Structure 1
């Protein structure tokens, strides 16, 4: 039952990620989840996702990004740092290649949920539904 709920949750996360990252189908809904939807399209739309490149784009073009998006990105970075501390062993063992991109790292940890320590699982559970799953 727990696995089924987690699978359904992940399917929902994927659906939200598609809306948020593309920002086309339901822009108002996507905007309420992630205030960076428009900035992703207009300011960093030329950036290929992965390896922390999108986050670097935001850092380099911070002056062009909306205030709400800047706050969201700063919160995401702080949360990623807290997650890295709680899950450092798991990240080193399973998700080391994802360290540069917080959403990729979160996705990797979620994909390895069963193998995570209780400390890491508890911290990871705090992030469910808060950030979109990266598109592959």
Structure 2
């Protein structure tokens, strides 16, 4: 289940690994992505590359990843009921649950929306 939430967060763009070229230069893992996984794109091996190189990540990036893990746990807890309510019959895999959650984003509980926004802000270093 944690893996599903992690993949979900990545797909939602809540991870520091996603959308590498669209973040501000101060983003914690940008240099690590450029040096360890040059040319790789989100959804095309970037996350796997970063994970395989986790021991080589800078201290700043490692700290950011840990912070994001905490936000993802909080988001999982806050969004579990919504996931079950709106996407409980959706087969897992291939981003189907994420797609379902995005399609139902206006119906999500205030708590779930707040945790998603908190994780987004943390990703951007705010």
* TM-score band, normalised by shorter chain: 0.5 to 0.7
**What's the offset of the Cα at 1:109?**
5.2
Q: How many residues align?
A: 102
For residues 108-136 of structure 1, the C-alpha deviation after alignment (integer angstroms, 9 at most, x for no partner) is 8566431101221232232343326xxxx
Contact 1:35 1:68 (C-alpha < 8 Å) held by counterparts: yes
TM score, norm. by length of structure 2: 0.58
Which structure is higher in RCO with an 8 Å CA cutoff and minimum separation 6? 2
Q: CA deviation at 1:71?
A: 0.8
Unaligned runs of 5+ in 2: 1-12
Alpha-carbon distance change, 130 to 117 in structure 1, aligned in 2, over 3 angstroms: same
- Matching residue within 34, 40, 47 for 1:41: 34
Q: Deviations over 1:21-55 (max 9, x none)?
A: 227xxxxx8232x211111122123544239x544
| Pairing of 1:89-100 with structure 2 (within 5 A) | 89-92=81-84, 93=87, 97=93, 98=95
Please state how far the C-alpha of 1:61 moved relative to its aligned partner. Answer: 0.9
SS at match of 1:35: coil
> Quick check: 1:117 aligned with 2:116?
no
* CA distance in structure 1 between the partners assigned to 2:80 and 2:25 by the alignment: 32
Deviation track 1:2-37 (CA, whole Å, cap 9, x = no partner) reads xxxxxxxxxxxx9xx9xx7227xxxxx8232x2111
Structure 1 unaligned spans of 5+: 1-13, 24-28, 100-104
Change (3 A) 1:90 1:69: same
